[in-house]
Amino acid sequence: MGQRPEEGHIVLADPGGGAFCVIEPYNAFLDGCGTFGELACYGTRDLGFFWSEALHWPLAWDRDEETAVQSPLGGTKVAWGGPPVAAKTVPNRQRFALTADGQDDLASEVDRLVGLGAVRLSTGPDGAVEMADLDGNEFWVTAQAV
């Protein structure tokens, strides 16, 4: 699945065919993580910068076209593996869902994300807004009842 022998990890697949890596615990990338070290996503370096701004999470890694963000509280890193990024042919099976504090905040949050480079795709019957990030990955922004 694309790893080189010197990278020191193995790639397995879940029952649905989704690939995941098993990385040794002493790997520097996993510093500051809990038991579940990383959620790895396909994407460009710029996607890490986008999600850092979108989530208000600091960039925790930026090397060799790979970026990662991590909550200011620590825990799991969300990483993007860099080019080459395969062309999207179908919507993603899994996607992020962001929650704004209410309908007014929903509109301003959508505007903020568009300002960061996201694209508004559709509005669901519940008012949730489907968007796409810089690489075309779909995500939802919903309003939390206040």
Domain co-membership, 106 together with 39? no
Which strands make up the sheet holding 119-123, listed edge to edge? 97-100, 138-143, 129-132, 119-123
Q: What pLDDT is recorded for position 82?
A: 66
pLDDT tens-place string over residues 102-133: 667 999 999 999 999 999 999 998 889 999 99
Q: Which residues pair with 11 in a beta bridge?
A: 21
Residue 120 domain boundaries: 97-143
Q: What pLDDT is recorded for position 1?
A: 44
Q: Which of 80, 110, 133 is the last residue of a domain?
A: 80
Q: What is the mean pLDDT of residues 41-61?
A: 91
Domain co-membership, 76 together with 121? no
Token digits of residue 77: 């890193």
Categorize the per-residue pLDDT at 7 as very low, low, confident or very high, splitting at 50, 70 and 90. low
- Please state the domain count of the chain: 2
Backbone Cα Rg of the chain: 16
Q: What is the mean pLDDT of residues 16-38?
A: 68
Q: Is the dihedral of CA 15, 16, 17, 19 positive or negative?
A: negative
Domain co-membership, 25 together with 74? yes
Domain co-membership, 9 together with 76? yes
Q: What pLDDT is recorded for position 27?
A: 66
CATH number of the domain within which 133 lies: 3.30.720
Domain co-membership, 116 together with 69? no
- The answer to whether residue 31 scores a pLDDT higher than 60 is yes
Which parts of the chain are beta strand (E)? Answer: 9-13, 19-23, 38-41, 59-63, 66-70, 77-80, 97-100, 119-123, 129-132, 138-143
Count CB atoms within 10 A of the CB of residue 4. Answer: 6
Domain co-membership, 74 together with 11? yes
Q: What pLDDT is recorded for position 133?
A: 94
Spatial separation of the C-alpha atoms in residues 135 and 62, rounded to whole Å: 17
Tell me the CA distances in angstroms from 59 to 49, 50, 51, 101, one per residue in order. Answer: 7, 10, 9, 24
Domain co-membership, 62 together with 112? no
Domain co-membership, 64 together with 102? no
Q: Which of 46, 80, 114 is the last residue of a domain?
A: 80
pTM (2 decimals)?
A: 0.76
